[in-house]
Amino acid sequence: MEAWRAPVIPQIPGHGPELRLYDAASREVRATTPGRIARMYVCGITPYDATHMGHAATYLTFDLVGRYWRDRGHDVHYVQNVTDIDDPLLERAVQTGDDWREIARRETQLFREDMEALGVIPPQHYIGAVESIPSVVTCIQGLTERGAVYEVEGDLYFDVTSDDLFGEVSHATQDQMLALFGECGGDPMRPGKRHPLDPLLWRAARPEEPAWDTPLGHGRPGWHIECVAIALDHLGMSFDVQGGGRDLLFPHHEMGASHAEVLTGAWPYARHYVHAGLVGLDGHKMSKSLGNLVFVHRLREQDVSPSAVRLAVAAHHYRGDWEWTEDGLDAAIARHGHWSRAAQLSAGPASEPVIEAVRTALADDLDTPRALTILDRWAEEALERGGAHGDGPRQVAEAVDALLGVRLLT
Ligand code: 5CA
Ligand code: ZN
């Protein structure tokens, strides 16, 4: 699939320390250690409704990872999927009377426009579930050869007991796993399954449901195997970061690691499993099913600047859950105005120490609140006391653009 147009990113001199990120599997903040090429997979949308600020916050978080690696001189290979066939799309199609393909096409297009407006660097490979069906089939055939697949009334399941390391990504307890699996589209109670947590790999065709003819029969892919097929095709094993929202740690990323490691016999699937906290509104996780949503395209229609949206997100550390509020957005708009006024000055404080401090904060598990405080102080000093450095304000503005995606100069 087409992704979206890339923003122009200024090159700034120097670079910061290695990027350290919290990894769910090792349960510690560890350095990412990419080679010349840094490889990242971030789970994409299920396009049955418009992009809300929760989704956007997750993609903005991983955009900062990519920006930081670029700043360190890595060539970033970024892959993202679109779950363009799954139950929510079919349910929405029944509710609205629209064709599921038309819903997926329309919402994916809106997502592209939202991401482009926010200045998110596009993935090199933006891949739909439907177009990845041949790869999914190959993966399931490989898992079958390894004895990890069984059938229940024509549907194919992955046997979680085939993976000795199952559970080592999320470290969830059995009770937590069972609860989350049921909440996230799993079917722990289905008779005929060997283990309640075994996930579906291939769903045989049902009446009235779309299905594809493949060597596995007439049907459609399960969810986790979709991301594994796409990640292995375009990144291979042991890529640097598997990203997504916290809701994906279990079952999705646990199952993905399990599928890939059993399939290839290699370890690890990803070197870091990184998760953004969930964004809520009025005390609840922002979710399509609850309907408590702030849509990115609505903010665009209200002429809220993308830089202010980015600052409203960056004011929170990515790992914690947080609430989207009008006050938070107003504070971000004010902060953007303050920084922009400082950036327009003809001279200001030296830029190097400020840029170094911002890089150091970001390298420390993306400590954006600290980076923002550093820049608040810089703007205050520049506006109150000026400075002797003619290029200072412009250099800081370019670093803020490159590292945070926030534009201060028009
Ligand atoms: N298509 C699958 C991933 S393969 C999916 O989870 N789609 S989604 O549309 O439900 O979510 C897209 C991305 O946004 C995922 O990374 C998800 O973890 C993240 N996300 C969903 N809701 C929120 C929220 N309230 N706050 C933060 N991130 C969220
Ligand atoms: Zn995924």
CA of 370 to the centre of ligand 1 (A): 26
Residue 286 is predicted with a pLDDT of 73
Summarize the confidence of residues 220-228 as an average pLDDT.
Answer: 98
CA of 312 to the centre of ligand 1 (A): 19
Q: Which CATH architecture has domain 304-404?
A: Up-down Bundle (1.20)
Length of the chain: 410
Summarize the confidence of residues 111-140 as an average pLDDT.
Answer: 98
Residue 133 is predicted with a pLDDT of 98
Helix (H) or strand (E) holding 311: helix 306-314
* Nearest protein Cα to ligand 1, atom 8: 45
286 lines ligand 1 (CB under 6 A): yes
How does the average pLDDT of the chain come out, rounded? 97
* Nearest protein Cα to ligand 1, atom 21: 55
Summarize the confidence of residues 252-260 as an average pLDDT.
Answer: 98
Where are the alpha helices (H) located in 97-158, listed in sequence order? 100-117, 133-145
Residue 292 is predicted with a pLDDT of 76
170 lines ligand 1 (CB under 6 A): no
* Nearest protein Cα to ligand 1, atom 16: 244
- Which DSSP category does 364 fall into? B
pLDDT band at 283; cut points 50, 70, 90? confident
Q: What is the pLDDT of residues 167-205, one digit of tens each?
A: 999 999 999 999 999 999 999 999 999 999 999 999 999
Mutation test residue for ligand 1: of 184, 248, 259, 322, the one with most atoms within 8 Å of CB:
248
- Name every residue whose Cβ is closer than 8 Å to that of residue 368 and which is 6 or more positions away in sequence: 64, 314, 315, 316, 317, 318, 361, 362, 404
340 lines ligand 1 (CB under 6 A): no
* Residue type present at position 407: R
Contact 155, 204 (CB under 8 A): yes
285 lines ligand 1 (CB under 6 A): yes
274 lines ligand 1 (CB under 6 A): no
244 lines ligand 1 (CB under 6 A): yes
Summarize the confidence of residues 332-340 as an average pLDDT.
Answer: 98
- Across the beta sheet with 200-204, the strand order is 149-152, 155-158, 200-204, 217-221, 212-214
What are the residue boundaries of the structural domains of the chain, listed by start?
Answer: 20-285, 304-404
Residue in the structure block whose two tokens are 């670093």:
399
pLDDT band at 336; cut points 50, 70, 90? very high
Summarize the confidence of residues 226-239 as an average pLDDT.
Answer: 98
Residue 293 is predicted with a pLDDT of 87
Report whether pLDDT(288) > 70: no
Q: What is the pLDDT of residues 146-156, one digit of tens each?
A: 999 999 999 99
* Chain CA centroid to CA 114, Å: 14
* Nearest protein Cα to ligand 1, atom 4: 43
Which ligand has an atom closest to residue 82 CA?
1
Kindly state the percentage of the chain with pLDDT values over 90: 96
Contact 401, 408 (CB under 8 A): yes
Report whether pLDDT(214) > 80: yes
Tokens representing residue 300 in the block: 């665009």
Rounded distance between C-alpha atoms, residue 188 and residue 196, angstroms: 4
Residue 193 is predicted with a pLDDT of 98
Q: Please give the backbone phi and psi of residue 27, each rounded to the nearest 5 degrees, phi first.
A: 55, 40
Pick from 74, 93, 9: which is nearest to 35 by CA? Answer: 74
CA of 150 to the centre of ligand 1 (A): 29
Model confidence pTM above 0.95: yes
262 lines ligand 1 (CB under 6 A): no
Rounded distance between C-alpha atoms, residue 122 and residue 76, angstroms: 11
Does the bond joining 17 to the residue before it have cis omega, within 30 degrees of 0?
no
Mutation test residue for ligand 1: of 42, 43, 78, 223, the one with most atoms within 8 Å of CB:
43
256 lines ligand 1 (CB under 6 A): no
Nearest-atom index, ligand 1, CA of 244: 16
Summarize the confidence of residues 37-52 as an average pLDDT.
Answer: 96
Q: Which CATH architecture has domain 20-285?
A: 3-Layer(aba) Sandwich (3.40)
Report whether pLDDT(396) > 90: yes
